[in-house]
Amino acid sequence: MILVTGATGTVGREVVAQLFAHGQQVRAMTRNPSQAKIDSRAQVVQGDFNDPKSLEAALKGVDKVFSLAFGPQTGAHEKELARLAKKAGVRHIVKLSAMGGDGVTINAIRKWHNEGEQAIKESGIAWTVVRPGGFMSNALQWRATIRSQGKVFSNYGHGKIPSVHPRDIGAVAVHALTQTGHEGQAYSLTGPEALTIGEQVKILSDAIGKPIEYVPISDEQARKGMQQAGMPGFIIDALVPFAAYVRDGKGAEVLPTVQQVTGRPALTFAQWAQENAEAFR
């Protein structure tokens, strides 16, 4: 039995679906099972990182865990998860982390994941870390302004990023969960090409058959937009400074990891755009 935490999220759903494709038994953990739309084959359980008793119950009879935690409490949450997992006899934890190396702090999000990685490694359970860069699905945040104004606003300027398809993130995690030889590995993931936001917007425009204008904005304008959208302050504080990293060209490296692990090429942004075009119309 494999426990998938964050099973209703973008990557969690991919992991659940691909585990079933590999013939695995899946227990899907979510805070609100009654509202979760998860594959009916999954054993859906209520669980919350802030509730150790719910974690303990979710871990009973589990061999492996896909851990998806996020926020300033990531280190504490995954430390407790690992403690309870070891008590339950779990043999392997695959953690969804974020781009960066051991001890490298690109932004606050990387700091949170450094702490989570360290907690899992110190537990004594076999581990694998999956460190994706930006998700292609982050483009879904542009839906409102594309629909209302035909525009995309970003403080990334003309810096390039090799965004990765969530399906590829899930595929690497599932390979680690279902095959041997991935223990003790940290996999940094990117898509197959580095694109500016303007280039992504052009690809998306072609996919939906509608002109879209890219409008570069300042960090302060980006912050105000995030605040108006209701984004939590701790996430805004982590994301806004990262834009300077991208604008300086520091986030443009393309890595071959997806193909090395899965045996197939990483999916392109054009493929993601075609798959999700209807969401922008």
In order of their start, the domains of the chain are 2-135+165-190+253-267 (3.40.50.720)
pTM for the predicted model, two decimal places? 0.93
The residues, ordered by sequence, that sit 6+ positions from 270 with a Cβ below 8 Å of its Cβ are: 203, 207
Confidence category of residue 101, pLDDT binned at 50, 70, 90: low
Q: Cα torsion for 122, 124, 126, 128, to the nearest 10°?
A: 0
Confidence category of residue 32, pLDDT binned at 50, 70, 90: confident
Q: Rounded distance, CA 26 to CA 42, Å?
A: 5
Give pLDDT, residue 123.
Answer: 93
CA proximity to 64, closest of 146, 155, 215, 182: 182
Residue 218 CB neighbour total at 10 angstroms: 11
Per-residue pLDDT reduced to its tens digit, 38-85: 888 889 999 989 899 999 999 999 999 999 998 888 989 999 999 999
Confidence category of residue 110, pLDDT binned at 50, 70, 90: confident
Residue 103: pLDDT above 60? no
Residue 116 CB neighbour total at 10 angstroms: 27
Residue 86 CB neighbour total at 10 angstroms: 15
Per-residue pLDDT reduced to its tens digit, 147-203: 999 999 999 999 999 999 999 999 999 999 999 999 999 999 999 999 999 999 999
| Helices (H), ranges, 97-165 | 108-121, 143-149
